[in-house]
């Protein structure tokens, strides 16, 4: 039995288990633990491919396992996080409109069907992962926002809502229709024919790496100053810089 060829698959399964644990924490409303295990899953996801290349044991099984694990960590988990946030947003809206605290305690709050809109992220992630497996153009860079980036964006939202002191930001993140808009946008961006900036450095010269260095500088600055809020802003910056690079390349 060739143990070496199974080492990357163990990391892939680590990604899957991390996603399952993250999902349990979504159900309990512990978004910090959810974010931790999602991040751990993404680390496992990085190293399974890295080890497969280093050990030269890349194969079809590993490719399929990778997508199946990603479907949980970077598909099901963000879908349920969005569902949970929308559900809480509906309850918050009802609570704000009912001023009588005793009446609020007596009524049974029906959040309706709107929160289920968050599951669109699961469907869009599934479609993207299926396309990724048969798209030979995405060996060195991504076309469309990768599912781990979408997941980091989504799991950061409840953390921002918990820790920010900016009332406008909190109001937006507790608004179900705003969250529906984010869900639609992310679902589209995952499957859009949008070439994104390749993050791999072939060399460390400024020429040819301008956008990568700018992205790193922006990321470091806003991570230090904005903490959780930096996560979605970094992803937005990545998309915008990719669009600018695409326009620049097409003009030249």
Residue 23: CB atoms within 10 A of its CB come to: 19
Would you say 51 and 105 are in contact if contact means Cβ atoms under 8 Å apart? no
CA torsion angle 220 226 232 238 (round to 10):
-30
Kindly give, in sequence order, each residue whose CB lies less than 8 Å from that of residue 13, ignoring residues fewer than 6 positions away: 65, 69
d(CA 30, CA 39) in angstroms, rounded, equals: 15
pTM across the whole model: 0.86
Task: For domain 3-196, give the CATH number.
Answer: 1.20.120
pLDDT tens readout for residues 87-97: 886 545 444 54
pLDDT tens readout for residues 176-215: 999 999 999 999 999 999 988 876 656 667 777 788 888 8
Six token digits for residue 246 = 């695409």
Would you say 144 and 190 are in contact if contact means Cβ atoms under 8 Å apart? yes
Average pLDDT estimate for 127-140: 81
The domains of the chain are located at 3-196, 197-252
- Is residue 149 classed as helix, strand or coil in its secondary structure? helix
Q: Is the pLDDT assigned to residue 152 strictly greater than 90?
A: yes
CA torsion angle 76 123 193 246 (round to 10):
-30
Would you say 132 and 74 are in contact if contact means Cβ atoms under 8 Å apart? no
């Amino acid at each position: 039995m060739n143990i070496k060829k199974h080492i990357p698959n163990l990391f892939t399964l680590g990604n899957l288990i991390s996603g399952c644990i993250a999902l349990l924490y979504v159900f309990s409303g512990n978004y910090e633990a959810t974010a931790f295990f999602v991040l751990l899953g993404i680390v496992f996801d990085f190293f399974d491919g890295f080890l497969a290349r280093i050990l030269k044991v890349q194969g079809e099984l590993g490719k399929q396992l990778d997508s199946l694990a990603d479907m949980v960590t970077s598909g099901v988990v963000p879908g349920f996080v969005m569902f949970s946030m929308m559900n809480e947003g509906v309850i918050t809206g009802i609570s704000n409109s009912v001023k009588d605290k005793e009446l609020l305690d007596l009524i049974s709050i029906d959040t309706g069907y709107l929160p289920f809109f968050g599951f669109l992220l699961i469907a869009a992630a599934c479609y993207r992962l299926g396309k990724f497996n048969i798209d030979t153009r995405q060996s060195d860079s991504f076309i469309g926002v990768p599912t781990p980036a979408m997941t980091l964006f989504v799991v950061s939202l409840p953390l921002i809502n918990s820790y920010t002191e900016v009332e406008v930001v909190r109001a937006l993140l507790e608004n179900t229709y705003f969250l529906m808009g984010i869900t639609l946008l992310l679902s589209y961006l995952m499957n859009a024919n949008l070439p994104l900036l390749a993050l791999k450095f072939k060399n460390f010269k400024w020429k040819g790496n301008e956008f990568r260095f700018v992205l790193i500088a922006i990321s470091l600055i806003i991570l230090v100053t904005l903490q959780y809020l930096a996560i979605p802003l970094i992803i937005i910056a990545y998309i915008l810089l990719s669009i600018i690079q695409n326009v620049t390349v097409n003009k030249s």
